[in-house]
Structure 1
Amino acid sequence: MSTSAISYKRHRFPAEIIAHAVWLYYRFPLSLRHVEEMLLERGIVVSYETIRRWGRKFGPDYTGRLRRKQPDRNDIWYLDEVAITIAGKKHWLWRAVDQDGYVLDEIVQTRRNTKAAKRLLTRLLKKQGLAPKRMITDKLRSYGTAKRQVMPQIEHRSHKGLNNRAENSHVPLRKRERSMQGFRSPGSLQHFISIFSAFRNLFVPPRSQRSALGIRTHRLRAMAEWNAVTIGT
């Protein structure tokens, strides 16, 4: 994780307000106008369009500095794809999560075929740096064909019942999709999920830490890392 501070030069509002607005928008199912209203309640007058610009400018910088979970050879990849309609045209969001529900990668594509599955696997291998112990998918045949081309030595289990972890990972985005009334373009969706999922990876505890104490401890550590990244405290 980078230790250099993010520059907020030529911005009228201080770093704390900008970071807080971005955190509210991507962390919770709030619209930009909701965030605008919440800031106004605290005496901070800022338009929702300004909040949108903050998210687009600082969101990628924030998430790029957050610590990523280290890959392990015993990891299990759960892969799935979900249809999302953008401007009347069906697109496919391909997602990979690990055994803890940590989002490894997501990519918006227009196809649901072997080429699209191969692109996801290639990106995953490049980003993770090593192959998993096992990969689990639904019964879409494209996964098996792509797996044989990209990492033939890896065990592959294809069964809808085993893939619930990947399918459940779509739920938070579906909720946001409804509150945002859809996405304007594939590019805007790709930009949003790259930030949205990084926030979830940081703030949502893994399955092994779902006790009350574990959740509280995880959130405190997440907030400490968030503050260190965004405002250097």
Structure 2
Amino acid sequence: VVTYETVRCWCDKFGEAFAHRVKAARRKPGSTWHLDEMFVTLRGEPFLLWRAVDEHDAELDILLQKRGDKDAAKRFFKRVMRSNPVSRKIVTDQLRSNPAAKAEIPKLANVKHVFVKAAARLNNRAENSHQPTRERERRMRGFRDLKRTQKFLSCFGPIRQHFALKRHLLRASLYRKQLAVQFVAWREFAEHAQNPSTSF
């Protein structure tokens, strides 16, 4: 019998270390960034959750912000660049703050920028990557605190993707085999997180 509060404390204590190990072990990020925003309500107030994924659907980073203006977009671009190599192409919706922010960042000046029209947004990988967050939001009966939500979702994305194999593309036997490999890797991540001296 484990309470929800106990699980929350475990997430606070180990989640960040687990997510860090998962990110370090996965393959090198792709050269295309897909960026999108979604609205999240925290205690009745709307916030924008900015998300970037690569062409392999791997989540690069997220950032929860109050606004969706140029400064907010610029802040998110810089955050993604801190932990990922500069992309060769950026795909976004038609939010005007994105090109305005990109133009003020020298490293992104020559990066190709592709705009996805509203009618074609289902093709945007970042748009589809919001679905697990929506599901988690419903199960948790909404998010409440800005900092706690940012911390939780930053860990939730990489960890969920570690186990989220493309089951519809795999035979049952191959799916079970690959899932077993993921669990072996997870046990190693957990061991390293509990014994920091062996992490590097």
The within-5 A match list for 1:182-201 is 182-201=142-161
Cα-Cα RMSD: 1.9
2:111 maps to which of 154, 159, 169: 154
Contact 1:203 1:218 in 2 (8 A): no
2:40 maps to: 84
The within-5 A match list for 1:72-111 is 72=30, 75-111=31-67
1:70 maps to: 28
Contact 1:102 1:206 in 2 (8 A): no
The within-5 A match list for 1:74-223 is 75-128=31-84, 130-150=85-105, 151-160=108-117, 161=120, 164-205=124-165, 210-212=169-171, 215-223=175-183
Q: How far apart, in 1, do the equivalents of 2:13 and 2:64 lie? A: 21
Between the two proteins, the alignment pairs up a number of residues equal to: 184
Following superposition, the deviation at residue 68 of structure 1 comes to 3.7
2:10 maps to: 54
Amino acid in structure 2 at the alignment position of 1:202: H
Following superposition, the deviation at residue 100 of structure 1 comes to 1.1
Q: The residue matched to 1:231 in structure 2 has which SS?
A: helix
The TM-score, its normalising length taken from structure 2, stands at 0.84
Gaps of 5+ in 1: 1-44
Q: Which digits, 9 at most, give the CA deviation of each residue in 1:94-113, with x for residues without a partner?
A: 00001111000000000011
Contact 1:65 1:229 in 2 (8 A): yes
Contact 2:29 2:54 in 1 (8 A): no
Distance 1:123 1:53, change over 3 A: same
Contact 1:135 1:154 in 2 (8 A): yes
1:30 maps to: none
Q: How far apart, in 2, do the equivalents of 1:61 and 1:179 lie? A: 24
Q: How far apart, in 2, do the equivalents of 1:181 and 1:104 lie? A: 26
Amino acid in structure 2 at the alignment position of 1:231: E
* Higher Rg: 1
Distance 1:148 1:215, change over 3 A: farther
Q: How far apart, in 2, do the equivalents of 1:113 and 1:216 lie? A: 45
The within-5 A match list for 1:24-43 is none
Q: How far apart, in 2, do the equivalents of 1:63 and 1:200 lie? A: 9
Following superposition, the deviation at residue 214 of structure 1 comes to 5.2
2:198 maps to: none
Which consecutive segments of 4 or more residues in structure 1 shift more than 4 A? none
Following superposition, the deviation at residue 83 of structure 1 comes to 0.6
The TM-score, its normalising length taken from structure 1, stands at 0.73
Q: The residue matched to 1:49 in structure 2 has which SS?
A: helix
Gaps of 5+ in 2: 193-200
215-224 vs 87-96, which moves further: 215-224
Amino acid in structure 1 at the alignment position of 2:42: I
